[in-house]
């Protein structure tokens, strides 16, 4: 079994954080902020490895977390980063992510 890349390890950590239950002293917002940060780190690791689909997917998950935290600016930046990653492999996905970004900026 091949060793997991840094991006895959960070993605698993982010998934675990996003799907965890909140503790006594933490809020759902904090959970999603931390998961968003981990998704962003995973996306950057995937970009370094030139795995642009995975980078776009990680940025999209980051954006979803940012939206759950009511962080519209950060979410639109994450959607934009997803679009830039998808641009290299799938122009259709790029346009969908650009629409997500624009919808947040207009709202």
Q: What is the pLDDT of residues 85-105, one digit of tens each?
A: 888 887 666 566 666 666 666
Predicted local confidence at residue 90, as pLDDT = 73
Q: Using a pLDDT cut of 70, give the percent of the chain over it.
A: 78
- For residues 9 and 69, give the distance between their C-alpha atoms in angstroms, rounded to a whole number: 24
CA-wise closest residue to 54 among 64, 42, 65, 63: 42
Q: What b/e sequence results for 65-78 when a residue is b if at least 16 CB atoms lie within 10 Å of its CB, and e otherwise?
A: bbbbbebeebbbbb
Q: Which residue has the tokens 């965890």?
A: 20
pLDDT digits (tens, 9 = 90+) for 36-86: 999 999 999 999 999 999 999 999 999 999 999 999 889 989 988 988 888
The CA–CA distances, whole Å, from 62 to 1, 24, 68, 106 equal 28, 24, 10, 20
pLDDT of the residue at 86: 84
Look at the block and give the residue holding tokens 């370094």: 48
pLDDT: is 23 or 31 the higher one? 31
Contact 82, 63 (CB under 8 A): yes
Average pLDDT over the chain reads 85
What is the spatial distance between Cα 2 and Cα 14, in angstroms, rounded to a whole number?
A: 21
pTM: 0.83
DSSP conformation class of 24: T
């Amino acid at each position: 079994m091949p060793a997991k890349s840094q991006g895959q390890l960070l993605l698993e950590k982010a998934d675990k954080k996003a799907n965890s239950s909140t503790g006594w002293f933490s809020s759902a917002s904090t959970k999603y902020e931390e998961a968003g940060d981990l998704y962003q780190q995973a996306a950057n690791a995937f970009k370094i490895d030139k795995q642009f689909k995975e980078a776009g997917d990680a940025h999209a998950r980051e954006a979803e977390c940012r939206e759950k935290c009511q962080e519209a600016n950060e979410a639109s930046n994450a959607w934009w980063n997803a679009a830039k990653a998808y641009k290299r492999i799938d122009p259709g996905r790029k346009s969908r992510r650009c629409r997500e970004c624009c919808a947040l900026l207009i709202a």
